Structure formats: structure tokens, C-alpha cells
Structure 1
């Protein structure tokens, strides 16, 4: 088995996940990539010139707890215990709570963004503890800081991601396993392409991946990328509700699924 370090990344078929896979490959890491569209990821890896012995793809939907946990166990058996696990898979869909069908969109969002993250980490926690090292990385969002119109499912799911990772960090304190919370601002990916509101400090995926790679390597517990959005996030958190609500007047809602 190769001595090169190994990274396990979910949501690797596009956007942030794909950019992170490219960045880790460039740094000489082996890749374990998870996506629902496994064939697309394999085709992408070939197009990037990544040799098969450096990259294994595990087709799985993170909403299927047995499938994603099984992918983690298969990775350990086939490639060894990863040094870094990045739970990146996520969806962003607008909802209107007045519409009954949108409750299913909310369920789907939580199953993907929250339960899927916990199921991604689950197979690795005990063996990482036993080894005394590792990085568990959760991709949250600045949208988890305050709620935005039409974005109730996504904002609340990412707020839960931030709290969940904080809890996990406390549980693993002193074990040698670091928990890293990364909060992207607006990144130019398929997830944000349909947004119909302004996206300040919009960042390209590869630029984000460079900064995230450094953050993970340093084992930082929490970082907003880009830093300008970190300043915005701190200001948003500090605003009284009456001021924050006034700022949202006239803001376009997140579009609903299918709109």
C-alpha cells in the first residue's frame, strides 16, 4: 500500500468537492472520492490525468446511511485509514413553509447536509482514535450564521452543521483527531449558479480549495473563506434583530426547487 497520505471526500462530482480533490492530488495525496454519479467522477479523474492507483471512486448517496457508511468501511479495507475525511456533500434549495410539498425539500436537505455528514464520519472515528491522529472536516457555510429569506432549510441545516462539529470537536478533544469547520462564503459552483441575489466576494472553487487545504493542514478549528466574508459574518452575528430584519427588506428570496 502506498505511503502517500489519503483523503476521503464526499460530493466529489462537482464544485468544491472536485476542486478539493484536484488540490489534494496536486499535493501528492491519494484520493478516495464519493459521489452519487460515480462514473462521472471516474471520467473526471481520467481527464485530470490521475492514475487509477492514486484514486478510487465509491458511488454512494449520503442520504443512504448504509451506503455512505459502507463506502467509508470499503475505503479503509481497500486503501487504508484516511488521514483526512472531508464531508462536503450538500444541497441548497429554497423553500416556502406555507407550501406543504416544501417540507419534503426540508427533510431532504437535513438528510443530506446533516445526517449525511455524521454518517460520513462514523466509520472513521474509532480507528482514528485508536491511531491517535486524523482530520474530520465539515463543510458548513456562512449561511449558517443568520437566516435568509426562502433559505430556511439550507441556513438551518448549516447552522446545525456548525453546532454538530463543535460538539464533535469537544468529544474528540485530546484524542489526536482534529475537527475542522470550514465555512465557505459565495463560491462559483453549480450550487450558487442559479442564485438571483448579489453574492459579494464571489470566489472561484480552486482558489477556495487552496485556502481550505492550508486550513485543514494546520488543523484550525474554524475558518471562514474568503476572509472578507468572515468579517461580514461577524458583523451579521452582532447585529440586533431589528437592524438585521431591516437589511433584508426587499431582498430576493432563494428560489424554490423547480422554479
Structure 2
């Protein structure tokens, strides 16, 4: 029998790359999608990964047509995945009073939200027909409450959390399960330029190890690491006035060009 297959977006670096490594070491076949497909090939070659175990698909997840074409190619070349992992995302600070940042907000939502939905969509019907499959959406603890300077990213990840919950409810009883993964702070290119403290920071490899276990389990929602899960539970309980005081003076996320 063929080894199980996982489809991962955002596989050129960070969390996506670390997860791909974990699955390859576990003997899975991988379908790796990235806008920078050449970077995916570079790290695979550097680690002497057998070409028989992977396929690379170049696509920008903010373009639904590109995702659809990549998914179709995956189904034709490798078959129907056992796990679809929508990980690709961007994070840029915005100033809500600056008109030019509306374009940044639009691009963030297109990548982080529409990109996730477009990644799931081509695989849902065939997974339901088969009666099995696992859809995994990478959200963030940042989706729990809005942080100053993070309006685009927080809004996109809040939407991811709600969207995954909706899909999970809709697919109940079909054999297809949905997991919402909410990382805390993970050391990746996205966080490398942050200018504020990042408590409980994990390496991408440490996150991938814990995420792999969560994906293999039956959880529908998982915050990693567990200490950040406590923070994620407490934040919504804080009165607005207390939350606003805690956020006062907090360094903002860098905007485009900063």
C-alpha cells in the first residue's frame, strides 16, 4: 500500500517546512505547495530527500485559481491526501488611519483566509466520498483578541478560527475531521523582525513535533504550547478596560517598508 499523503501549503520555510520534515521522517509522502517553489527544492536537495517521496507545486495561495490547479495536479499525480494542512500566511503591521494600509489588509485576508478556504475546497468532496480525511487550518493565538498594530493579522486569524469551526460543524459525521491549530510565538521568518517580547517562544521544529501529535489525535482545536493555551483562555475574559491598559505602550508590529 502507498504511504499516506499530506498536502502542505507555505512549505518553503518556517512552520510549513518544519512540518514537511516531520512527515518525511515518519515515512509519509508529501505534496508541498509554495509561492517560492525553488526554495522548497533547495532545502529538499540539501537534505538529500528522495524525489520519490514528494512533489512540489508552485502557487500563490491568494489566487484561488492557482490553488485549484495545484490541487488538481496533486490528485492526478499523487492521489487524494490523507491530511490537508493549510499553513501559508503573511503577517504585516498596519495603521488603521493610513489609507495605503487598506491594501495590506486586503492582501492579508486574501492570503490567510481566502487562501485557507481555497486550499480546503478542492479536497472536501473527494474526502467526503472516501469517508475519511483531516483538514488542518493554522490560525494563531493572535486571533483571540485584537492587538494594537496587528489589525490585519488578528482579523485574518480570527476569521480562520471561525471558518474552521464552521467547516468542522458542516462535515460532522462525514468521516472528514477539522483541526484548528493555534500557535503562540514560533521562531520563523514571520516573527524574526518582531520588536516586542515573545513569551514561550518555540522553534519551528518544536512546534512541528507537537503539531504532528495533535494532527494524529482527535482534537478539533489545539493551542501550542500549552502555556499559551492558558493565555488564550484568559484573554477573552479580561474586561476591555483592563485589556486596553495592558496593551498601552506595547510596540507595534512593523508595517510594510519599516
TM-score (norm 1): 0.98
C-alpha contact 1:30 1:54 (8 A) present in aligned 2: yes
Look up the match of 2:30: 31
Q: CA deviation at 1:219?
A: 2.9
Structure 2 match to 1:157: 156
1:64 to partner: Cα distance: 1.0
**Residues 1:44 and 2:43 aligned together:** yes
Q: 1:123 matched to which residue of 2? A: 122
Q: Which runs of 4+ in 1 moved over 2 A?
A: none
Residues 186, 199 of structure 1: 8 Å contact kept = yes
The aligned residue for residue 241 of structure 1 is 240
Conserved? CA contact 1:12–1:41, under 8 Å: yes
Bigger mean CA offset, 77-86 vs 47-56: 47-56
RMSD: 0.7
Q: Residue 59 in 1 paired to residue 77 in 2?
A: no
Structure 1 residue runs without a partner (length 5+): none
Q: Distance in 2 between matches of 1:27 and 1:49?
A: 15
Stretches of structure 2 lacking an aligned partner (at least 5 in a row): none
Aligned to 1:231: 230
Deviations 1:102-140 (A, max 9, x none): 000000000000000010011100000000000000000
Paired residues of 1:179 and 1:219 also in contact (CA < 8 A): no
Give me the TM-score of the superposition, normalised by structure 2: 0.99
Q: CA deviation at 1:40?
A: 1.2
What is residue 89 of structure 2 aligned with on the other side? 90
Maintained 8 Å contact 1:135/1:219: no
Provide the C-alpha distance between the structure 2 equivalents of 1:240 and 1:36, rounded to a whole number of angstroms. 41
Q: Is the 8 A contact 1:17 1:89 kept in 2?
A: yes
How far apart in 1 are the matches of 2:48 and 2:179? 29
Determine the structure 1 residue equivalent to 2:174. 175
Aligned residue in 2 for 1:140: 139
Match of 1:214 in 2: 213
